């Protein structure tokens, strides 16, 4: 019994981790190819685009010729057609070639710093984000062979706080990177990034408190279940949901240090900000963490405001495996929409000035979220 529980836990953890990597890869690809489309460029379209069957598996052996023919037409040709298709779309370039290039690059460690702490920087930037996925529910409950399975790695009754805790730990990746860079660009980038993350965490925490008040639960699964039924139950249409959504969306863009909020890595002033001194896979890990964080924020927005896996006007049967699959697909569809939206905003809006960023965080978003909290509390009380 306990063995099955542990096995289920491991399978869940593995699947969620693969999903995280998949979402992050999707965001990487949209970032590369989508930015090209937005800027009226062609973008990555070469790697793998010219693969043809050609002379592969041609043989003079009469006995092997029929086998070679079958393998060529049924296996090789379709595979290479798919490779060509993905190559033209730039998928192979972004996900395979770039990763391979990063793995083969020299791992540069600046002089006079601890190599251990230098390696801990990207680790601390990625690990909390991946851990945060543990409390996110990804589909409705379903029953397999008598076991009710909840597609959520950890059923924590304080799931929302876990997200906040992991968010506050993610700051250390940035700080370590700036500290071990041994260089003024890194240090300035790290200071900007951590000040930005801490400032926007206030508005995030207050908005999370508002949502807890509205849903009456810290468990993300129960928050999704509270939005079942008609569209009017969705968080965004409930009370001051639209205000909470706007605050959380802006905070999400700032926390991921993206879009108009990318002062920490502004190329024109700071080379690359806090990860200036990183190369190869360590550099890519920062990007992986960033894209995983974008997907995480999209997931949070979907779960809080857009009904999670619920489809408007359609109610799925409970506890059936295919309903869970459909629900999961719906959830991921909504998440992908927000991922693309964030990337489009990042490539559309120009960068703020740093004082504008601080003003937005402290003088607009924080008071707004406090007022929002009070108004939401009054509305909840009057509805009871």
Partner 1 sequence: MNIFFILLSAIALSSALGVILMRNPIHSALCLIVNLVAIAGYFALLNAHFLALVQIIVYAGAIMVLVVFVLMLLNSKLEEQKSAGLFMLVVSSVFAVMFIVHMSKIYGAEFSTSGVASASLQGTVANLGRVLFTQYVFSFEASAVLLMAAIVGAAMLAKTTPERPRGDGERV
Stretch that binds partner 1, among 188-196, 338-346, 355-363, 376-384 (CB under 8 A): 188-196
Residue 194 near partner 1 by CB under 8 A:
yes
Contacts of residue 204, Cβ cutoff 8 Å, sequence gap at least 6: 164, 167, 248, 251, 255
**CB 132 to partner 1: min, Å:** 12
**Is residue 334 within 8 Å of 306, Cβ to Cβ?**
yes
Nearest to 20 by CA among 144, 147, 138: 138
Stretch that binds partner 1, among 25-33, 54-62, 70-78, 171-179 (CB under 8 A): 171-179
Residue 208 near partner 1 by CB under 8 A:
no
Give the span between the Cα atoms of 368 and 314, in whole angstroms. 35
Cβ nearer to partner 1, comparing 167 with 289:
167
Cβ nearer to partner 1, comparing 154 with 246:
154
| Contact track, partner 1, 86-115, x by CB under 8 A | ----------------------------x-
**CB 162 to partner 1: min, Å:** 6
Angle made by CA atoms 124, 335, 198, in degrees to the nearest 5: 40
Give the span between the Cα atoms of 28 and 22, in whole angstroms. 10
Cβ nearer to partner 1, comparing 158 with 378:
158
Q: What dihedral angle (degrees, nearest 10) is formed by the CA atoms of 23, 30, 162, 284? A: 90
**CB 100 to partner 1: min, Å:** 33
Stretch that binds partner 1, among 24-32, 64-72, 157-165, 343-351 (CB under 8 A): 157-165
**Is residue 308 within 8 Å of 338, Cβ to Cβ?**
no
> Binding residue for partner 1 (CB under 8 A) from 11, 158, 329, 364?
158
Range 216-235, binding partner 1 (CB under 8 A): 218
Q: Exposed, middle or buried: residue 110 (CB in 10 Å: 0-12, 13-18, 19+)? A: middle
Unique residue bearing structure tokens 């998928």: 91
Range 113-152, binding partner 1 (CB under 8 A): 114, 117
In this structure, the number of other CB atoms found within 10 A of the CB of residue 287 comes to: 19
**Is residue 301 within 8 Å of 342, Cβ to Cβ?**
no
Stretch that binds partner 1, among 14-22, 176-184, 263-271, 362-370 (CB under 8 A): 176-184
The site for partner 1 (CB under 8 A) is made up of 114, 117, 156-158, 161-162, 164-165, 167-169, 171-172, 175-176, 178-179, 187, 190-191, 194, 198, 218
């Amino acid at each position: 019994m306990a063995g099955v529980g542990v096995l289920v836990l491991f399978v869940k953890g593995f699947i969620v981790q693969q999903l995280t990597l998949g979402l992050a890869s999707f965001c990487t690809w949209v970032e590369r190819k989508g930015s090209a489309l937005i800027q009226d460029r062609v973008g990555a379209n070469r790697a793998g685009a010219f693969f043809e069957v050609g002379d592969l598996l041609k043989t003079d052996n009469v006995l092997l010729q029929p086998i070679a023919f079958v393998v060529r037409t049924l296996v090789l040709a379709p595979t290479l057609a798919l490779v060509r298709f993905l190559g033209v779309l730039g998928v192979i370039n972004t996900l395979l070639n770039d990763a391979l290039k990063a793995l083969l690059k020299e791992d540069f460690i600046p002089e006079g710093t601890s190599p251990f702490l230098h390696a801990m920087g990207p680790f601390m930037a990625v690990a909390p984000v991946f851990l945060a996925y543990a409390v996110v529910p990804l589909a409705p409950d379903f029953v397999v062979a008598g076991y009710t399975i909840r597609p959520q790695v950890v059923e924590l009754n304080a799931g929302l706080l876990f997200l906040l805790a992991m968010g506050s730990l993610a700051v250390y990746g940035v700080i370590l990177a700036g500290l071990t860079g041994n260089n003024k660009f890194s240090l300035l980038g790290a200071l900007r990034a951590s000040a930005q993350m801490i400032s926007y965490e206030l508005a995030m925490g207050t908005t999370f408190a508002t949502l807890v008040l509205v849903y009456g639960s810290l468990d993300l699964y129960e928050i999704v279940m509270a939005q079942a039924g008609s569209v009017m139950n969705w968080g965004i249409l409930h009370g001051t949901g639209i205000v909470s959504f706007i605050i959380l969306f802006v905070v999400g863009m700032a926390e991921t240090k993206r879009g108009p909020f990318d002062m920490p890595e502004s190329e024109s002033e700071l080379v690359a900000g806090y990860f200036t001194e990183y190369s190869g896979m360590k550099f890519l890990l920062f990007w992986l963490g960033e894209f995983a964080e974008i997907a995480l924020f999209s997931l949070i927005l979907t779960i809080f405001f857009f009904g999670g896996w619920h489809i408007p006007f359609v109610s799925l049967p409970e506890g059936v495996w295919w309903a869970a699959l459909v629900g999961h697909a719906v959830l991921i569809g909504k998440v992908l929409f927000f991922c693309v939206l964030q990337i489009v905003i990042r490539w559309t809006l120009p960068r703020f000035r740093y004082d504008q960023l601080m003003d937005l965080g402290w003088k607009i978003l924080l008071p707004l979220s406090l007022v929002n909290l009070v108004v939401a509390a009054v509305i909840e009380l009057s509805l009871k």
